[in-house]
């Protein structure tokens, strides 16, 4: 069930698309079918002491790991059961972790109600980057006229606009989106995900080029600044 273990299937599907070898796809389909035939009834409130609470997508990173796999299985096979499952589980996470006042995702339910040092709500930069990256993967797979697409496009545009507002002066998105001063260290994974997603949105015509290109360029430059003399990406 664990979304992190499902993520590897993205690579297997890429190999299948390149080689068209059915054997590359069979294990992924077998596992996906098993999950669909044995759906978890675990709680959406994450509790690491209870294994059943990581069987569903109870943390926002999972929205990058798993939904894109099921979405691509839908478009590869034409079988809507994969998209029905992906959409149902994604929306369960959205309904549980998305704060409609802030237009941001909590990392998981444990952070709902917590406050940063400055009194703001706790929203993890990298986690929201995971979600934006995941939405980019879903949208690349979903056909333009698919009935599910509008929800994901609208969420992508809304979340993109929100995180663009939260870019720090140094070009990075920090560990805490609403309290970057408490976490001044650069965060290149959050920044990388967001730059990737915003660039995708610009290229696909989902985001205004004039408004978002400066944000992407500034974020990309921040990532370049984090590369050491040895060529390693830091932070």
Distance CA(131)–CA(21), nearest Å, equals 30
Which parts of the chain fold into alpha helices (H)? 3-6, 9-19, 26-37, 62-65, 67-77, 80-97, 125-141, 149-165, 188-203, 209-225
Tell me which residue of 215, 222, 158, 214 sits closest to 189, measured CA to CA. Answer: 222
Q: Which of 5, 61, 99, 208 is catalytic?
A: 61
Distance CA(35)–CA(12), nearest Å, equals 18
Active site (annotated) includes residue 61 = yes
Cα atoms in the Cβ-side hemisphere of radius 13 Å centred on 192: 11
CB-CB neighbours of 152 under 10 Å: 20
Would you name the residues annotated as active-site residues? Answer: 61
């Amino acid at each position: 069930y664990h979304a992190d273990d499902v993520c590897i299937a993205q690579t297997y599907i890429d190999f299948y698309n390149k080689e068209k070898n059915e054997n590359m796809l069979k294990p992924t389909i077998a596992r996906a079918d098993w999950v669909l035939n044995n759906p978890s009834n675990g709680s959406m409130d994450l509790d690491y002491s209870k294994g059943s609470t990581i069987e569903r997508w109870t943390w926002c990173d999972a929205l990058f790991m798993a939904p894109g796999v099921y979405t691509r299985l839908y478009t590869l096979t034409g079988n809507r059961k994969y998209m029905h499952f992906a959409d149902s589980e994604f929306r369960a996470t959205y309904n549980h972790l998305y704060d409609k006042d802030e237009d941001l995702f909590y990392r998981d339910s444990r952070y709902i109600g917590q406050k940063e040092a400055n009194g703001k709500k706790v929203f993890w930069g990298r986690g929201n980057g995971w979600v934006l990256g995941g939405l980019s993967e879903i949208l690349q797979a979903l056909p333009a006229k698919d009935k599910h697409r509008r929800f994901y496009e609208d969420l992508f545009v809304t979340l993109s606009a929100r995180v663009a507002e939260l870019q720090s002066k140094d070009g990075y998105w920090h560990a805490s989106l609403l309290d970057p001063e408490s976490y001044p260290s650069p965060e290149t994974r959050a920044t990388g995900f967001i730059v990737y997603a915003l660039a995708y949105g610009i290229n696909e015509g989902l985001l205004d080029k004039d408004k978002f290109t400066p944000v992407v360029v500034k974020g990309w430059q921040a990532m370049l600044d984090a590369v050491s003399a040895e060529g390693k990406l830091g932070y």
